[in-house]
Structure 1
């Protein structure tokens, strides 16, 4: 019985890594206290631990699955955003390189007159392209920040819901386990009548 309880505590400890520390400490402390308290009927203790250990393990499994799904959904959305903005970034980078190349060619001309005329014309033309590119880049930056913020908020909300569900379900299971260990066994299964009587 103690081995089962300790195993459950280890499982809970590893699963609670994503749970805020106050809830984790409360759960671990409650379970440790219950394991250390001497109980009356060993048969009742054995029944209670064997009944609630799988329930608490299932609560942990649900929390882990929900948390994993939150992360998976975030990763999928993030990958799509990266792909979308990679195209925009490639276009911006190409424009910047073309503009720089156009200006650098002016320096290779044989006479100063040709070079000045080239810089004047290329500078004007590339300036218009760079101004457009600059505006597009700033718009993309704002849009990208909004999309990242949105998926981060969704992930946080998803995780908070998983934590809230875990906390509620775990609190109820702990309450029922304590009541069971105290001898308040709900006889919803026929085999319990021999233990309760």
Structure 2
């Protein structure tokens, strides 16, 4: 943002808003002007909420999901089945699954995927912590729910290799044809996954 007419503080606000996904120059400027002109109390509330979240939210020491406690609500729930562990890429996946699926086990959040070219190794996504949990012998089934991307598949394969010495059943969620979807409109990778994951009718 190089317009010399903009005050420096406005420029900084617009540049800060642009770090959000999907927010470009014009959208960031529109947001900034709205907050400054029409909703200054909302701007103060937003600023306080961001500050509070940054100060209070951190990773759960057991599953790495976001929480404001040492151990998150899922991990501290005594009704959860400790023998089931679902591995996901990020906190949004936990929230999505918890709203859509009748799953009573625990989660493990990678906070990303393995990506050697980007310098992201096993410890960066918590696989050392995951292996230490497997070594305790409590987990009987490991459900891999990483995304069907190249990185997600590579990460799932690596986790499968980690789990082998511990005699843990490793399953992979099916990726395929969505409800209401038509085959002619699906890409080849989706169709391949759906075909390989076919089940008894």
The structure with the larger Rg is 1
User: TM over 0.5: same fold?
Assistant: no
**TM-score category by the smaller chain?**
under 0.3
Larger fraction in helix: 1
